[in-house]
Structure 1
Amino acid sequence: MNKRKKQSHGPQIGTVIGNTSPQEYSFLLKSFSAKLGDIVVLEMEIPSEKQTTEAYPRESILVWGRIVELERFNPFLPTESAKELSEEGIDLLDTVLSYSQDQIQGQVLVLGSTPVDNLTDLVPLNYPIEPGSIVELPPASKIKQILNGKEASARMKIGSLIGRRDVNVELLTNVLVSRHMAILAMTGGGKTVASRQVISELLKINYPLLILDPHGDYLGFWDKRDKFPDAEIKLYFPDIKVNEQNRDIVSYLISRMTRGYSEAQLEKYEDVLESVKINEKDNEKGIPIADFINRVIRVVESRMNENGDNNKMQNRTLSVVKRNLKNVLHHMEAMNTSNMQLRKRLSEYPFEAMPDPQSEPEQFIRPGRASILYLGGYDHLTQSTIVSIILKSLFDVRASMSNKIPPFFCIVEEAHNFIPSKGEGQAETPSVEIIRKIITEGRKFGCGLLLVSQRPSRLDETTLSQCNTFLIFRLVNPKDQTFIKSVMENLTSSDAKLIPGFGPGQGIISGQSVRFPLVIKVDFDEDLKPKTIGDEDFVELVKKWDSSPGAEKIRRSEIIEKGLDDLP
C-alpha cells in the first residue's frame, strides 16, 4: 500500500528523531519556530480497526502533543574550545569555529490522537510515533477545537496558553464549582490574581459566592462593582452569635483560648457551660459571644456565692475558671477592636456585621451575590471557628434539601490556616472537619470550594487530594514541590521541573475542568486590586511618619521625661 500524501496542519517546525513511544517523542526544532509549552501536531499512520481486504489495514491520524523540554547544543563547538575562548577572552566570531550550527532538541508529551477530519474526538495513542514525521505548529482555531472537544457545557476563561496568547484556556464551569479546585503558589506567584479571575467569571453568570478573606485581597470587587452590573458585592465583618446549634464549637473556642485547665478545672468549666441555657427567643437570633461569656461568668460567681466558706477547694477551682473566662472576654474584645481599627483604615468600604448563618443563610448565599467576609484582626483559632460556624450552617442547609439557599462556591484564601496538615496543629483548627466534609460530600449538594495557599506542604494532604482541578504557579520550596507531586497524580517529571522557573501568572493547570494538563498565563485585571491594601509604599510612609501625631506625641513625652518645662 502506498502512503497517502499528508496534509498540512500548520507551519513545519521540526522532524521526529530517535526512539519513540506512544507516550512521548523527541524532535529537532527549527530555530525560533516554537517555544516550551506549545501544542504541536504531526500526522502518521497506525493499524486500522476497520475491516478491509488488506492484510494489514492502516489509517491516518493526527497526534497531538505539548513541548515539555527544549535543549540547545552546538556539535561543532567542542567543550575544550569553549573553555579556551573563555580563558583567553576571545569572541567566537573571531575564530574559525562555527557559531551557526546550533541544534535545538525538543521533548514532546503525547496528549492523544484524533482522526484527520475530526479534531474533537481525542483518544489515547496506541502505536509508537513514526520517526521522520514532520512536526507542525497548528493554528489557534485547531488548538481551540482540541482544548474544548465535544463538550458543550458552560466555560469560563482563565487565561491563555503560555506561548500562544491567541489561544484562550477555558475551564468547564460546572466541574469547577462542584468538584473543587486548588490554586497553589509562592507569594507573588499569581494565586490571588487567578482566584480573582475565577470569581470574575462566576460573577458574570450570577453564581453565588462566599469569599473568606483574611487580608482584604478581594475588596477590589467592591471598588469595581460597576464591572458587574448584575451582581451584588456584600462586605461583612465577623459577629459571632451563640445558639444551640453552634454552642459546642463556641465552647471549644472559649476553652482553647484559656491558658489551659487542669482536669478538675475543665470539669467545672464544662459543668458550668452545661447549665447555661439559651431560651427559644435568644436561640432564634443568637446571643453575642461576649454576652454568652458574661452569662457563664455570672453562673460561676453564683456557684461561688452558694459555696461560701463551706467549700474553699471548689471555689479556688471556680476562681481559676472565672479568671480564664475574663481573659477570654478581654481577648475577644481586643480582636474585635483590632478588626474595627482595620475597617476604619478602610473607611470607604461599607462593612456590615455578618448575618447569622443559621437563621439567615440567604443573606450569605443568593444568586448574583458575592459575600466577602473580612477576617483581619482575629487570631488563627478564632478565624477557624468563625469559618467552621458559617460553613457548617450553610452546608447543613444545602444537605437538608430545603432549597432555602441555592448551590454556592466558597473561596478559602490562606487555606493552610483552615485545613493544616497533621503536623501543623489540626487540633487547634475547628474548620478542618467541616472543610473535609464539604470536599468529600459537597458535590452532592452543590457546595464547591476553591482552596488558595502559598504553602502547599502545610495543607492537609487528604483534603487537598480531593480537589479535581489544580492550578500550580511558581514554587521553589523543595517540600512544597514534593508535596505537589504526591497529590497530583498526572504531574509529569518534565512539568515538575517547570514549576520553580515560572514567572508571575505562569502556571500549570490540570484536572477534570480541562482535557489535559496545560501550561498557561493567567489573565491579570489591574482594576480588581484593592486600592488601599497590597502595594503600600512603606519607605514613603516612614518618611511621612515623622510629622504624624504619633511621632509628635513621642517627642513631647521624651521632653517631659528629661524634665524640660518649655514645651514647643
Structure 2
Amino acid sequence: MTGPTFLGRVGSVAGATISVRQAESVASGIAIIAGRSYRVAQVGSFVRIPQGYHDLYGVISEVGAQATPDTLVDARQRGESWMTVQLVGEIVETSFERGISQYPGINDEVHLVTEDDLGRIYGAEHTGQIAIGRLAGAESIPVQIDLDRLVTRHSAVLGSTGSGKSTTIASLLRSICQASGGKHCSSSRILLLDIHGEYGDALKSVAEVFRVNPSEDEQPLHVPYWALDTLTLLDFLMGPLSENAYTGVLDKIQAAKLSVADGVAGVDVNALTVSTPLPFSLKQLWFELIDPEYKTWADKERTQRAIDEEGDAEALKAPKYQPPGAGSALPDQNQTGVLGIRRQLAQMRSRLLDRQYDFMLHPGDWEPDLAGKPSKDLPDLLQSWFGHNKPITVLDLSGVPSQVLVRLIGGILNITYEALFWGRSLPEGGRARPELVVMEEAHRYLGKDGDNPARDMVQRIVKEGRKFGVGAMIVSQRPSEIDETILSQCGTLMALRLSNSADQAKVKAALPDSLSGLVDTLPVLRTGEAIIMGEAARLPIRCRINLPRAGERPNSEDPRVSEAWARPRGDEDYERLAAAWRSQDPKWGQEPKMEDS
C-alpha cells in the first residue's frame, strides 16, 4: 500500500534532476490528507523520496509534456504524466541539510510533502533563524531564514512596482528587530537609505529617522562634506580641473587639515592625506583660492596690494582689486599661486550659497569655523548614526537634489564602511556589531555606466564587507539595470512579482536550469508573495510575507483615483503648494499629528 501521499515513481535520474512518472491514481488538483488540503503536482511544490533511514527532498520544476524525458517521447501517446524534480536536500535522522549524499533509484516511490514534513525541514524558531512569512502552499508553516547568511552573504529584494516590495522590506526589518521579542537582536544595527521617504512613519517605533527637513520626532540629516571622499567632493563643487589646478587645490586642503590635526586621537601628522576625515573650512578654502586669481600689486616689487575693498570669507565675498594696467603700467597682475580656476570658483561659490545643499555643505554643528574647528566632530556623527538605542537608522534622502544623490550615497557608504572596517577589532566595530545596509531604489544609483562613487563603494562592500561585518541588501524594481558584479554577489534573492522579461532573466541566471520553472511563476505571484532562494533559505520556497500592522506600513500606496476624484473639493491654497516646493518639504505648513494616548 503506497498511502495517500503517493505521487509516482522515479523514471530517470540525471545528477540532481530526476523525472517522475506520475501514478494513474493521482488526480490533478487538490488532495485531502488528515483533514488538510494540498495542491498536487504544482510547480514549486516539494516532494519526498524515502531512502531507508533518511529522506530526499526536491522541488517540482516542470509538469506535463515538457517534463517527459526525451528518450520516452512515446509516453505521451500512452497517456502517462511526468514531473521534473530538482533535488535540494535531505533529512538524516532528524535534521535537514542542503545537498544530497546519495541519489534515488529507478522506481523509488515519490510522495507529496505534508505539513508535518515541512515542519521537520523548517523546525522550530531558534537563535539565528527569523520568521518572515508563511509557505504559500501550506500557510500554517512559518518560513524562516538564516539571519547570519542573510547579512554576511548579502541579499537582494526584487519586484515590479506594486508587487509589495516596500511592505516586504518593512516587514522583514521588523521581523529582525522583534525576533523572539527582540531578545535575539537587541543589538542589531541596520542602516536604511530611504530614497522616497516611505519608511519614516512605518518604522519610527524601532528606528531613528534623519531627514533634511525633520519633523518633531525626527533628527536633522547632516552629512559633513569633510567626511566624504575629497576627490568626489571637488568634482561636485568645481567640476573638471586641470592637473596643475587639481594638485594646487589638494595641497590647500591638506594644509588646512594639517592645521587642525594636532592632538586629534589617531592622527599621525606625518601620514596625513587629503582623504583623512578631518574638518576644514570650505569658505576659507574658496577665499584663499580666489584671492590670487584677482590680486594686483601697486608696486613693481609686489609688496603692496592694489586693493579697493577687502573680501570676507564668511560671507563668501571676494576682495576687489584695481584692474591691472596695460603693458608695463601699474597695477601689476599677480603671478603667484594662480591656478586659472575663476570659473570653477564661481561654481563653488554658487554651490555654497545654494540652500538645497545645506545638509552637506553647511552641516549644522559639524560645519567648521574659518579656522577649521567644528562644534561636533566625527565621533559625534558616528554616534548619532550607529550608537543610538534603536536598531534601525533611516536616512531619509527624499529631500536630496537628484544631481548630488549618487555622490551623497557614495559618501554615506564610504563613512559607514571605513568606520566599521578600521574599527573591526573594537566593540563598536563591524565584527562585534555587524551592520546591514539596506539600499532602496538601488537601480537609480547602482547602474553600469559612467563614473559612479556609489556603485564603486557597494562593489567594495559586497566583495569584502562580510569579513568586516558590513552586509548589503539591494532593493530594486529593475534588477536588469543594476551592475552585474553587485547582483552576482547577493547570496540570497527574494523575488516578488516581476513582469519584465529582462528582469526575470536576472533572477533565472541565479538558479540552476532545472529550477527555471520557478522563475516562470514570477509574473503571476500575488502582491506580497515572493520566491526566496539562496544562502539564507533552506529550500527555494514560495512565501507569503507577513503584513505589518496598520500604521506600520510604508507610505508607498498608489493614490485612490476614483475616490479622490469623486470627493468634493475642499479649500485649496496654492501659496502653500508653492511654499512646499520651494522649501523642498512635502510636510510644509502641516500641523504635527497628535500621538494617541
For normalisation by structure 1, the TM-score amounts to 0.71
Larger deviation: 471-480 or 140-149? 140-149
Rounded to whole Å, the distance in 2 between the matches of 1:44 and 1:381 is 54
1:124 aligned partner: 100
Contact 1:470 1:511 (8 Å CA) reproduced: yes
Name structure 2 gaps, 5 residues minimum: 31-38, 67-78, 179-184, 211-217, 266-274, 298-323, 325-331, 363-375, 580-597
* Residue in structure 1 matched with residue 494 of structure 2 by the alignment: 471
Match of 2:130 among 156, 161, 182: 156
Summarize the Cα distance change of 1:387–1:416 in structure 2 as closer, same or farther, 3 Å threshold.
Answer: farther
Partner of 1:64: 57
Alignment match, 1:210: 191
1:72-471 to 2 correspondence within 5 Å? 106-114=83-91, 118=94, 120=96, 124=100, 126-128=102-104, 130-131=106-107, 133=109, 135-138=111-114, 140-148=115-123, 153-204=127-178, 205-206=185-186, 207-223=188-204, 225=205, 235-243=218-226, 246=227, 249-258=229-238, 260-261=240-241, 266=246, 269-270=249-250, 272-277=252-257, 279-280=260-261, 292-307=281-296, 309=324, 310-311=332-333, 317-331=340-354, 333-336=355-358, 358-366=379-387, 368-378=390-400, 379-399=404-424, 401-405=425-429, 406-421=433-448, 423=449, 425=450, 427=451, 429-471=452-494
Distance 1:509 1:215 in 2: 25
Paired residue secondary structure (1:451): strand
Q: 1:190 offset after TM fit, Å?
A: 2.5
Counterpart residue type for residue 320 of structure 1: R
Deviation at 1:242, TM superposition (A): 4.1
Q: Once superposed, which parts of structure 1, at least 4 consecutive aligned residues long, lie more than 6 Å away? A: 231-234, 281-284, 288-291, 312-316, 337-340, 551-554
Q: SS of the counterpart of 2:423?
A: helix
Aligned partner letter, 1:413: E
CA contact (8 A) 1:236 1:371 kept: no
Alignment correspondent of 1:523: 546
Secondary structure of the corresponding residue to residue 456 of structure 2: helix
Distance 1:261 1:417 in 2: 27
Q: Higher mean Cα deviation, 480-489 or 441-450?
A: 480-489
TM-superposition CA deviations, 1:206-249 (whole Å, max 9, x none):
212221111122113445x2xx6xx7677444313244xx36x1
Relative to structure 2, which stretch is displaced further, 459-468 or 390-399? 390-399
Amino acid corresponding to residue 241 of structure 1 in structure 2? P
| Higher alpha-carbon deviation: 540-549 or 452-461 | 540-549
Deviation string, structure 1 residues 119-150 (Cα, Å, up to 9, x no partner): 63665264445448353342x2321212349x
Counterpart amino acid of 1:143? L
1:14 maps onto 2:7 in alignment = yes
Kindly provide the CA deviation profile for residues 462-492 of structure 1, in whole angstroms up to 9, marking residues without a partner as x: 2222222111122222322233334456883
Secondary structure at 1:14 match in 2: strand
Q: Deviations over 1:493-529 (max 9, x none)?
A: 2222222332222222112222221122212214355
Query: Aligned equivalents of 2:453 and 2:533: distance in 1?
Result: 30
**SS of structure 2 residue aligned to 1:188:** coil
8 Å CA contact 1:398, 1:446 repeated in 2? no
CA contact (8 A) 2:294 2:334 kept: no
Hey, what's the Cα distance between the residues in 2 that align with 1:358 and 1:490? Answer: 50
Q: Partners of 1:481 and 1:538 in 2: how far apart?
A: 30
Q: Distance in 1 between matches of 2:399 and 2:278?
A: 17
Amino acid at match of 1:317: G
Which segment is superposed worse, 464-473 or 306-315?
306-315
CA distance in 1, matches of 2:112, 2:87: 14
1:362/1:404 contact within 8 Å kept = no
Local SS of the residue matching 1:111: strand
Distance in 1 between the 2:209 and 2:236 partners? 34
Per-residue CA distance 1:395-435 (angstroms, 9 max, x = gap)? 23433x122353222212122344332x2x3x1x3233333
Give the whole-Å Cα distance in 1 for the aligned partners of 2:475 and 2:351.
30
Higher deviation after alignment, 270-279 or 544-553: 544-553
Q: 1:557 aligns to what?
A: none
Closer, same or farther: CA 534–383 of 1 in aligned 2, 3 Å: farther
CA distance in 2, matches of 1:396, 1:119: 36
Deviation at 1:386, TM superposition (A): 3.7
Matched pairs, number: 475
How far apart in 1 are the matches of 2:29 and 2:529?
Answer: 21
Q: Retained in 1: the 8 A contact 2:44–2:518?
A: no
Deviations 1:345-374 (A, max 9, x none): xxxxxxxxxx86554423322464311111
Residue 443 of structure 1: CA displacement? 2.2
Distance 1:445 1:135 in 2: 44
Judge conservation of contact 2:208–2:219 (CA < 8 Å) in 1: no
Residue type matched to 2:426 in 1?
S
1:32 paired to 2:12: no
2:442 maps to a residue whose letter is A
Counterparts of 1:388 and 1:456, CA distance in 2:
20
1-structure distance, mates of 2:454, 2:255 = 26
Per-residue deviation, residues 32-78 of structure 1 (Å, max 9, x unmatched): 22153554444555xxxxxxxxxxxxx465332223334599xxxxx
Unaligned runs of 5+ in 1: 46-58, 74-101, 341-354, 555-568
Tell me by how many angstroms 1:460 deviates. Answer: 2.2
**1:381-401 deviations in whole A, cap 9, x for unaligned?**
3432442343234323433x1
CA deviations over 1:103-126 (Å, ceiling 9, x no partner): 9764433333445x6463665264
Aligned-partner Cα distance in 2 for 1:490–1:156: 29
| Higher helix residue share | 1
- Supply the distance in 2 between the matched residues of 1:250 and 1:404 (Cα, whole angstroms): 25
* Native 8 Å contact 2:417 2:470 kept in 1: no
Taking the aligned partners of 2:263 and 2:294, their CA distance within structure 1 comes to 27
C-alpha separation between the residues in 2 aligned to 1:443 and 1:551? 48
Q: Classify the secondary structure of the residue corresponding to 1:516.
A: coil
Matched, 1:548 2:561: no
SS, match of residue 30 in structure 1: coil
In 2, the alpha carbon distance for the partners of 1:553 and 1:168 equals 49
Cα contact 2:406–2:454 (8 A) shared by 1: no
Amino acid at match of 1:318: I
Q: Which residue of 1 aligns with 2:215?
A: none
Q: Distance in 1 between matches of 2:85 and 2:550?
A: 38
Partner amino acid, structure 1, of 2:173: I
By how many angstroms is 1:440 displaced?
Answer: 2.5
Give distance in 1, aligned partners of 2:98 and 2:54.
Answer: 11
**Shift in alpha-carbon separation, 1:404–1:71, aligned structure 2, 3 A:** same
Change (3 A) 1:272 1:325: farther
Q: Normalization by structure 2: what TM-score?
A: 0.67
